[in-house]
Amino acid sequence: MSGGGGGGGGGSAPSRFADYFVICGLDTETGLEPDELSALCQYIQASKARDGASSFISSTTEGENFEQTPLRRTFKSKVLARYPENVDWNPFDQDAVGMLCMPKGLAFKTQADPREPQFHAFIITREDGSRTFGFSLTFYEEVTSKQICSAMQTLYHMHNAEYDVLHAPLAYGRDHSDMEDGEGTPGTKLQRFNSYDISRDTLYVSKCICLITPMSFMKACRSVLEQLHQAVTSPQPPPLPLESYIYNVLYEVPLPPPGRSLKFSGVYGPIVCQRPSTNELPLFDFPVKEVFELLGVENVFQLFTCALLEFQILLYSQHYQRLMTVAETITALMFPFQWQHVYVPILPASLLHFLDAPVPYLMGLHSNGLDDRSKLELPQEANLCFVDIDNHFIELPEDLPQFPNKLEFVQEVSEILMAFGIPPEGNLHCSESASKLKRLRASELVSDKRNGNIAGSPLHSYEFLKENETIARLQALVKRTGVSLEKLEVREDPSSNKDLKVQCDEEELRIYQLNIQIREVFANRFTQMFADYEVFVIQPSQDKESWFTNREQMQNFDKASFLSDQPEPYLPFLSRFLETQMFASFIDNKIMCHDDDDKDPVLRVFDSRVDKIRLLNVRTPTLRTSMYQKCTTVDEAKKAIELRLAKIDHTAVHPHLLDMKIGQGKYEPGFFPKLQSDVLSTGPASNKWTKRNAPAQWRRKDRQKQHTEHLRLDNDQREVGDPALLSCRELVKMELHLQKPISETSV
């Protein structure tokens, strides 16, 4: 089958788009079970927040937070179903999935409460460091179980009775008008506005549907889940039973290989995703736009610097997806370096004690929307970067150095944001550079003469190369082949993608374009800063096994020599960055992988970029100057994505009727149905619905593409090769060959 292994546990490597479809929610058979760990953490947090104001409460009440009405208490959610039961390459972790799908357990609401569906992504990190990705859509269903409704009513009776007894002294001691005006204690407000009466209220409970995948195709997974939810809330039934669509995404939609795009069908419309090739930046599917809109460019840079120096970072938001988006964006912008410490973008309520860990971490804490920052008691705040995402605010740790060339870097990023209509300033609350950025006029941000760019005139690659004296020899070589650079430049114009019709909506395309432009600019900074890093790597004298065993005691990088080569303004940041675990791991990877075939994929991409800079000498001759070099790879990276979205490489088989009994597959509007496990537990042994095997189809398209490119060359160009299609390394080899005496070149 096109999607890889047919059975539930077939295959030894991920070849399918999705591994599991999961349903989490209320188990009506076990009833309401308090989530004791979450409840205890909430009680302790609420007790600290009250700051002694409720000291009148009897000590007998300790252990239960009576200011939490039953509708706001935490109850256990359970994994109700999963399809298939297990796959060999990704064993199902029921505890982790259940905890991260619904981090605060079940939520109950009435008809008076907002009940909009909420989407969030999450990550499960295995013991070996590998990751599995989850995507969850939480919605609310009416509770039809009379036992559950009666249990909730009983809890309210108990709560009100206890609450009246405990707060009776307070009621007599306060002005009665305050209570009528709603200015009583927080508990009074909760009791008044979050009540439940079984005779007049409709009770709703949260449920979630989830996809577990080997790769983070966030936008595609969100579309799958939202279309499934739309199908059960629509008054009209979907064209096919829900099982057909779930079966399709589990067993008949393949994982696209690197450099390929894929289209498959949801319930109501097509879904497109694309995967970068092995020489591009890694897959990243979260909207960078949202992070800059929420925090502003200055706060993003401060958070970015804190992450690079491995401070403790705590993100704070009411929205799980915002926590994930900010965490994933910051770590993606760190390319080629990777966060090596505790990484929990969504911290379940039962794991709040993790915040006491005396180690670097990047964690996300869910806010209830009622407590402000002052009510949070956090340990070791001197080394903590606290990010209040919803309020656009960031608290920085002490003694934070500035990132090299920060103002120019901020300016380059701001230009891109402004081109997409995003104000770069955001809500700036921290350092001096914030006020400097505010003082920059919009025209100064767009018209950047100091860095060689004029507003409305993007950096032209040919003009840039022509002004660089070190490229003159290559120009002479190209002229000797009979091809002018001007012709090469004209030849690029038709592929500028202005007239390409992409297979996604305009907003999605803009997200792709902004993402890659911002990421390329950040990647370029590290490429420029560490272009000569290989010179300072200390290769081990012993064999690899001995070095690996003793690598903690071994020096792998000549830090002193490297720093002596750096511009003075870089030193405060770089001297600390070279001591981080992420830099040490980066160098370890370099030592372990001598050959290109053995290299970590991220390291391979970075080294190829470093090679281009060193071969073309686009950067300044040495690192002893702090001259800022802007990114020149944006157009190429953007074009690659647009081409994949314009010409889809593979269209998966459409959902179809399954071998189900008459009457199966029906559903009641408003309720996600109990799915037929017999048809979803295993996939087909061979995919009879696919005429061509997808990998073979992709290989065939490879050959067609190469053949088409070859036919474009005229006979003269075929003899020596088109310089536009040759690598820089090959051009240098040709030049060296042409410079040899005739006696040497003739055989």
Q: Return phi, psi of residue 483, to 5°.
A: -120, 130
> Token match 């970015």: residue?
304
Closest residue by Cα to residue 20 from 97, 120, 77 = 97
> What is the rounded CA–CA span in Å between residue 541 and residue 58?
69
Strand partners, 24: 79, 208
- Note the helical H segments in 57-127: 94-101
The reported pLDDT for the residue numbered 737 is 42
Most distant CA pair in the chain: distance in Å?
A: 110
DSSP 75: B
Q: Return phi, psi of residue 736, to 5°.
A: -60, -40
> What is the rounded CA–CA span in Å between residue 266 and residue 411?
41
Closest residue by Cα to residue 75 from 155, 2, 20 = 155
> What is the rounded CA–CA span in Å between residue 213 and residue 14?
9
Series of mean pLDDT values for 10-residue runs along the chain (747 residues): 40 78 92 67 49 35 55 87 92 92 91 92 88 96 91 85 68 46 43 69 94 96 97 90 95 94 95 95 96 95 97 95 98 97 87 82 86 66 89 91 94 94 67 45 40 37 41 50 44 47 83 96 95 89 68 81 91 96 92 72 92 69 64 93 93 91 70 89 64 53 53 42 39 41 37
What burial letters (b/e) apply to 451-479, b meaning 16+ CB within 10 Å?
eebeeeeeeebeeebeeeeebeebeebbe
Specify whether the CB–CB gap between 141 and 671 falls below 8 A: yes
- Residue 633, phi-psi category: left (phi > 0), alpha (psi -120 to 50), beta (remainder): alpha
> What is the rounded CA–CA span in Å between residue 330 and residue 362?
10
> What is the rounded CA–CA span in Å between residue 259 and residue 604?
16
> What is the rounded CA–CA span in Å between residue 453 and residue 447?
7
Both tokens of residue 193? 């506005």
The reported pLDDT for the residue numbered 36 is 59
Both tokens of residue 732? 């240098």
Q: What is the dihedral of CA 83, 84, 89, 92, to 10 degrees?
A: 60
Q: Return phi, psi of residue 728, to 5°.
A: -60, -35
Give the CA radius of gyration of the chain.
30
The reported pLDDT for the residue numbered 158 is 85
> Token match 């179980």: residue?
145
> What is the rounded CA–CA span in Å between residue 228 and residue 23?
12
Residue type, 681: S
Residue type, 691: K
Both tokens of residue 549? 């065993």
Both tokens of residue 200? 């007049």
- Domain architecture of the chain: domains with CATH: 20-219 (no CATH), 288-451 (3.40.50.11500), 461-491+519-644 (no CATH)
> Token match 């076990």: residue?
30
Q: What angle do CA 131, 133, 139 make, to 5 degrees?
A: 150
Q: What angle do CA 333, 338, 340 make, to 5 degrees?
A: 135
DSSP 489: H
Q: Return phi, psi of residue 302, to 5°.
A: -65, -40
Q: Return phi, psi of residue 384, to 5°.
A: -110, 135
The reported pLDDT for the residue numbered 595 is 61
The reported pLDDT for the residue numbered 629 is 87
Give the H or E element holding residue 718: helix 715-720
> What is the rounded CA–CA span in Å between residue 588 and residue 547?
10
Both tokens of residue 715? 């006979």
The reported pLDDT for the residue numbered 604 is 93
CB atoms within 10 A of CB 692: 10
> What is the rounded CA–CA span in Å between residue 459 and residue 442?
19
